[in-house]
Structure 1
Amino acid sequence: MNNKKITRIRRITKFRKNLQKFKITRLLIHRTSRHIYAQVISKNNKILVTASTLESKIKKKLKYTGNIKAAILVGNKIANRSIKKGILNVSFDRSGFKYHGRIKELAKAARYSGLKF
């Protein structure tokens, strides 16, 4: 494994160990070069709500799904779906990715739509 991936995994494990102590519902983000995925995971590690750029409604709106516009759409969609389920407070799990670019814009969109973290 390259050094960049090792440091990202190290950041993930630190954060998730800390979350296990407090048993908090979390908003997990994963990104690739083409897509971005978001999941709301309960205290018991069960997936409650999902949204991603693989959904047909989001794909139709955009030409390319690996950009900031796509991240904003996913952020809005995950916030709306989780609020409908009654989930308002979550912890933002960025999966070790740095907080800039698509990750930052997804978080802003989710906050703007009503999620608190």
Structure 2
Amino acid sequence: MMWGSRRRRTSAAPLFVAATVAYGANCVLGTAVATRLVDTRNFRWLHHALYIATCATTAAALSSALWGRPRRVSRRAALALLPAAAPLAAIPYLGSRSIRHPLVALTAAPFVIAGLVRSRRTDRK
């Protein structure tokens, strides 16, 4: 195997994993509450804490465009994740009782997954 073709992940791959896990946990909890499988009246803060964790880990993963190595893989992963910032920023303004809240939240999913996949891609150059 030549050194140039060796498989390399971005150094920020754990941040993309953390952002994906936080987003997924938030979606699972939100779905469980919406379908009344879970009652969060006594710990409503949990969904908010997961949302904050999702935003913080997403921002950290996006910052890898500036410092992550290999640079090309890090930048492509961050660019794939970047569109998720818009629905994440809009969610607090949509209210939680309408259908808009989960629909807008789910629009981030393809970008979160794309960022995760890109962060784990190989560097061919």
Instruction: Specify which structure has the higher proportion of strand.
Output: 1
* TM tier, smaller: under 0.3
TM-score normalized by structure 1?
A: 0.28
Instruction: Specify which structure has the higher proportion of helix.
Output: 2
Query: Highest Rg: 1 or 2?
Result: 2
Q: Quick one: higher RCO (CA 8 Å, sep 6+), 1 or 2?
A: 2
TM-score normalized by structure 2?
A: 0.26
